[in-house]
Structure 1
């Protein structure tokens, strides 16, 4: 009998947030049914009519409090999950922005090195390295491989393009120049 009343007091103190001995209120957790508690049946008849009414009222109140506690715990869990999800979303967003920022900075550095070394824009994406020095060394080796030079050293072919003769203005002039 003493154990039943203690469980009821414990449930009521959880609901009010106070502890019988003072101190911090306990974290809400659903009360576990006491296996030794009298849940009806044997021994209840000894209480008499008033005792049975009080016992039924207490059991009804206990059941109601357990339902309220379960609903409150479900709401708390819902709020925790909602906040956790928002925090996770923010964390993922920050991680993706940091990754994007790092990628953009590396891409900008590759293009800067390509411009400095006068490497064609098409080859700038092929540069490899994490530091400016590594990228510059790779650009130098790439310039040697593809034999790209800063200024083209190509001599014009005299057999191509405009020759020394004046250009004919009409078809008849072209025909007469051909047969000369």
Structure 2
């Protein structure tokens, strides 16, 4: 049988020698050589088939490893997001308890409640919060201003009303 490490040139030379030698062989020798060629071709086909199957298997194994790796990465990313959300909630909780403004709350540093509380105390000492501005109340309306409802006064009536308002007496007609 032929070794798979032989080059095409060696195979071609070997076949030429075989053909030259087959002229000297009898029918049995020629049949033996034909069987060897047929077996060699069958072995090559089997080797190619096995190489294809091996490549498919390696590809499937790589895909499976990638899928497992992807699942692990997804799990790790989800755990990291959950941890960040818990820390953010804890930071806001501590800030609310310590009376920090939202801007000050963003600056809290620490991984545990105790660290966050200590940092919140330091922030309050360094940057005290401004006193809350008193609530502004709208002024009370002045009832003497503006329209009073009812029908508008005519010229003479408006003059009498103005005189009464200014002088407090009713004008008399003589």
Output the TM-score relative to the length of structure 2. 0.64
Distance 1:155 1:111 in 2: 26
Q: 1:109 to 1:65 in 2, by over 3 A?
A: same
Q: Does 2:44 align with 1:63?
A: yes
Shift of 1:162: 4.4
Deviations along 1:4-56, whole A, 9 cap, x unmatched?
38x7xxxxxxxxxxxxxxxxxxxxxxxxx2449x8433653367211111111
Number of residue pairs matched by the alignment: 139
Q: Which has the higher helix share?
A: 2
Q: Give the aligned partner of residue 11 of structure 1.
A: none
Distance 1:101 1:117 in 2: 24
Q: How does 1:12-27 map to 2 (within 5 A)?
A: none
Distance 1:51 1:42 in 2: 16
Aligned-pair Cα RMSD in Å = 3.3
Q: Secondary structure at the match of 2:15?
A: coil
Q: 1:125 to 1:51 in 2, by over 3 A?
A: same
Q: How does 1:44-83 map to 2 (within 5 A)?
A: 44=18, 45=21, 48-83=29-64
Q: Give the aligned partner of residue 102 of structure 2.
A: 121
Q: Secondary structure at the match of 1:41?
A: helix
Distance 1:82 1:156 in 2: 66
Q: Give the aligned partner of residue 82 of structure 2.
A: 101
Q: Does 2:142 align with 1:167?
A: yes
Shift of 1:154: 6.4
Structure 2: which 5+ residue stretches go unaligned? 149-161, 163-174
Distance 1:92 1:79 in 2: 20
Larger RCO of the pair (alpha carbons < 8 Å, separation 6+):
1
Q: Give the aligned partner of residue 84 of structure 1.
A: 65
Shift of 1:153: 7.1
Q: How does 1:129-140 map to 2 (within 5 A)?
A: 129-140=110-121
Distance 1:107 1:58 in 2: 73
